[in-house]
Structure formats: C-alpha cells, structure tokens
Homo-oligomer: A and B are copies of this chain.
Amino acid sequence: MKVLGVLGSPHKTGGSAQLLLAALKGAEREGAKTELVSVYDGEVKPCIGCIHDEEPQCKFPCIFEDYGKIILEKIYEADGIIFSTPIYWFAPSGQLKNLIDRMTSLENMVAYGEPSYLEGKVVGAISVGADEGGAWVGGYIITTMTSMGAIVPPWGIAYSHKAEKAIYDNKALMDAINIGILTARMIARLKGIPADLTFVYDIDLLETIRKEVILKLGLITPGREDYGKRIVKKSGI
C-alpha cells in the first residue's frame, strides 16, 4: 500500500509541507508506505498539448525527460496520492498545475485502449494560504482527479489559512491527518481488507503527529495563539 505525497510549494517547511507530512504520518499509521516529492525539486516542463497535434503522442510516459517525468512515474506506482499546495490566487501553484496538465499522459491511455492509469487510485487534496481559496483549490483538484478516474475518500479535502502556522491550526491538522488515514483505509477496503471509514477525532494522535512534524521539519515553536482550541468539525454552513 503506497501513498505518495505531492508538494506544490517552494517552501520545504511551510504550511502545505507541514500538513502534507501530517497526512502521510496518518497514512503510515494505517500501514501505508509513504513518500513525499515536491514539484519544486526539479524542472516540470509545461504541457505542450500534443494531444491536439495531428499525430498525438500523449501517452505514458510523457515525452519530456525531466523531473516531472519522475514524479509521474511515482504517481503511476502509487495506490493513493495526496496533493498539498499553497493557495496561489485561489488555485494550485502554477508549478503543480504543470504537473497536473502532464498527468494527461496517464489519463489519456484511454485513447490507446487501456484504462486511465489513474483509475481506482485514491486521491485527497490539502491547501494552505494566508487568504481565501482553500475550498476552491481542493474542489478543483478532486474534480480533476475524479475526471481522470480516481476515487475521492470521505472528507477528501483540507485547508488552512494559517500559512506557515498551519501545523497549529487544529481543525486543518485533524482534517489533514484524516486525509492520510482515510486514503490508506480506502485503499485497504478496496483490497478487501476491513477498515473503518469514519472521520477520526483523536487529540492524542493529533498532538503526537504535530510534534513529529515540528521535529522533522525543524520548526521553531511560535506563540501559541492558535494552539489548544477545541477540535470541532465545522459545518460548511
């Protein structure tokens, strides 16, 4: 059971990195093997839309020999994928969007008589910013992923406005951990292994994972203004 975290941020220790790491730690507790890659760790050339060329070449693997290709291969091999992006103007970062555009090479296998290579994979989405747009970003990513054939688990999006303090945003942190847990459990269920798909409220787990993330990323503990709020799952209304 492999869960891949795809980071869309140039900041290695920022809010979207923090919540992604927390999600992966959630998945690990469910027995998943995890890996984290960042779209900023190498070149991700922009898609050239060759699917509309007279002789389309859009199939896996994508024609470009760059870091994007390496990430696409990891996506291909994963059972679950968790995207985490900074909110850049109500949308994923352009660099992550380049990768998503290039994922067409996985989906477009349908034009070659095969299923989409995303089909049946389980996908969640996290976004972090200092301003609005998290729901729009998360909604955008899962809409694209279901349109490539992926499955969205319960509570499949999480977001925070706390920017580099996202790790202290209890609601967002609990949501992110659940994306990890529920992605892993959904993979298990699809493999026929019993697993509960109920949202997990567990303050001890939250504190433990928070500490692990802080330690791992070398975060300096800031003022605690957002810390210790009661964890409540807020309704969207």
Asked if B146 and A143 make an inter-chain contact with CB atoms under 8 angstroms apart, the answer reads no
A144 to B137 Cα, complex, angstroms? 13
Q: Which of B93, B104, B139 contacts A90 (CB 8 A)?
A: B139
Asked if B149 and A94 make an inter-chain contact with CB atoms under 8 angstroms apart, the answer reads no
Determine if A11 is an interface residue (Cβ-Cβ < 8 Å).
yes
Asked if A149 and B155 make an inter-chain contact with CB atoms under 8 angstroms apart, the answer reads yes
- Label chain A's interface by main secondary structure: loop
Which residues of A in the span 141-161 have a Cβ within 8 Å of any Cβ on B? 142-144, 146-157, 159, 161
Which residues of A in the span 95-140 have a Cβ within 8 Å of any Cβ on B? 95-101, 104, 107-108, 110-111, 115-116, 119-120, 129-136, 138-140
Asked if B108 and A235 make an inter-chain contact with CB atoms under 8 angstroms apart, the answer reads yes
Q: Which of B49, B96, B99, B140 contacts A11 (CB 8 A)?
A: B49
Q: Which residues of B contact A163 (CB under 8 A)?
A: 52
Residue of B nearest to A237 (CB): B104
Asked if B90 and A100 make an inter-chain contact with CB atoms under 8 angstroms apart, the answer reads no
Determine if A40 is an interface residue (Cβ-Cβ < 8 Å).
yes
The interface size bin for chain A is: 35 or more
A154 to B134 Cα, complex, angstroms? 23
Determine if A218 is an interface residue (Cβ-Cβ < 8 Å).
no
Asked if A49 and B237 make an inter-chain contact with CB atoms under 8 angstroms apart, the answer reads yes
- Among the stretches A21-29, A191-199, A208-216, the one at the interface with B is A191-199
Asked if B131 and A143 make an inter-chain contact with CB atoms under 8 angstroms apart, the answer reads no
Asked if A130 and B234 make an inter-chain contact with CB atoms under 8 angstroms apart, the answer reads yes
Closest chain B CB from A180 CB (angstroms)? 15
Q: Which residues of B contact A236 (CB under 8 A)?
A: 87-90, 104, 107, 129, 131-133, 144, 147-148
Sample 14 A-B pairs with CB under 8 A, ordered by A number. Answer: A11-B52, A86-B237, A88-B104, A89-B101, A89-B236, A90-B139, A97-B98, A104-B235, A111-B232, A111-B233, A133-B135, A135-B136, A143-B143, A192-B194
